[in-house]
Amino acid sequence: MNWDDARIFVALYREGTLRAAARALDIDQATVGRRLAVLEHALGSTLFLRTSNGYALTQVGKLAIRAAEAMEQSAHDLVRHTQGMDKRLAGEVKLSTTDALAQEYVVPAIERLHAKHPDVSVVLDTTTHVLNLAKREADIAVRTVKPRNPDLLARRLASWEVGLFASSAYVRRHGEPVAGERFSGHDLVVYQPHFAKARAPSFVGEPLTDGRIVARFNTNLTLRAALKAGLGVSELPVPMGERDGLVRIWPERSNDVSYEIWLVTHRDLRHTARIRVTIDEIVLAFGR
């Protein structure tokens, strides 16, 4: 099995349609269909059933996908193992983090990295989606969740208290919430991923029951922009709220769960020179 054909086979299996597979591989749809036909001809077997809902594996396809995914893993291992021996302070580093952490910590780190090592080029992906480092979707990730994969090295960069904040303009208009009144008469803005998972949503232990949820946001940066605009009250990591010049409400209270930030890379890349110096600058940025 040719790896290029196997790569297309795996993408089509995961994505379900020619269009989605083409988008994932950054090639055109016709190429996906053509390479699939070549692969099926070479194997003398039909790998997919074409259904109204997309492409579904045949019984032969279910056997073949195991071998194709093993080839994929071997290809990723080859890249990681060889790059792990790279001592040059040059080349590309793929870095993933959130928009807020990028703006305040990672971009300044990249600026210092470039000043010291101009031949190191950073590809920065700002997303709340956790990329797969084992599959080389990123070389380094700065995350708010510690990974469980034993092949990944994780270093905690920060552990911040989470408090309740609003803008000074909001407090002047509405006053501060009264503890025990479940935010009665107050406008609330929430971080949607946490809100959606909570059985009984609360801020710093106070139920949101009687408050007005006026907006929901899926990134930390947009949530903070809403708070600075005076849209309502919300939880934030304390250093971020202070950096934004917001008013901390009920400073004696905080969320039971801290806001942790982790730097993650694959253990096979830990000796790669360009990875190491990039990590050093990110660690320095959080240390400051």
Q: Indicate which CATH number applies to the domain containing 228.
A: 3.40.190.10
Q: Considering its fold, how many domains does the chain have in total?
A: 3
97 lies in the same domain as 107: yes
* Confidence (pLDDT) at 107: 97
What string of pLDDT tens digits covers the 288 residues of the chain? 666 788 888 999 999 999 999 988 889 899 999 989 988 888 888 999 888 888 999 998 898 898 888 888 877 777 766 665 567 789 999 999 999 999 999 999 999 999 999 999 999 999 766 667 766 788 999 999 888 888 889 999 999 999 999 999 999 999 999 999 999 999 999 999 888 888 899 999 999 999 999 999 999 999 999 999 999 999 999 999 999 999 999 999 999 999 999 999 988 887 889 999 999 999 999 987
174 lies in the same domain as 231: yes
* Confidence (pLDDT) at 85: 56
On whether the pTM is more than 0.75, the answer is: no
The number of residues making up the chain comes to: 288
Helix (H) or strand (E) holding 23: helix 18-25
150 lies in the same domain as 266: yes
Do 220 and 240 touch, CB atoms closer than 8 A?
A: yes
58 lies in the same domain as 95: no
Beta bridge partners of 202: 207
Place of tokens 């797969």: 132
* Confidence (pLDDT) at 137: 81
Who's near 263: CB < 8 A, 6+ residues apart? 140, 141, 142, 154, 155, 156, 157, 279, 282, 283
* Confidence (pLDDT) at 140: 94
* Confidence (pLDDT) at 185: 95
189 lies in the same domain as 67: no
DSSP assignments along 254-277, one per residue: --SS-EEEEEEEEGGGTT-HHHHH
7 lies in the same domain as 146: no
252 lies in the same domain as 280: no
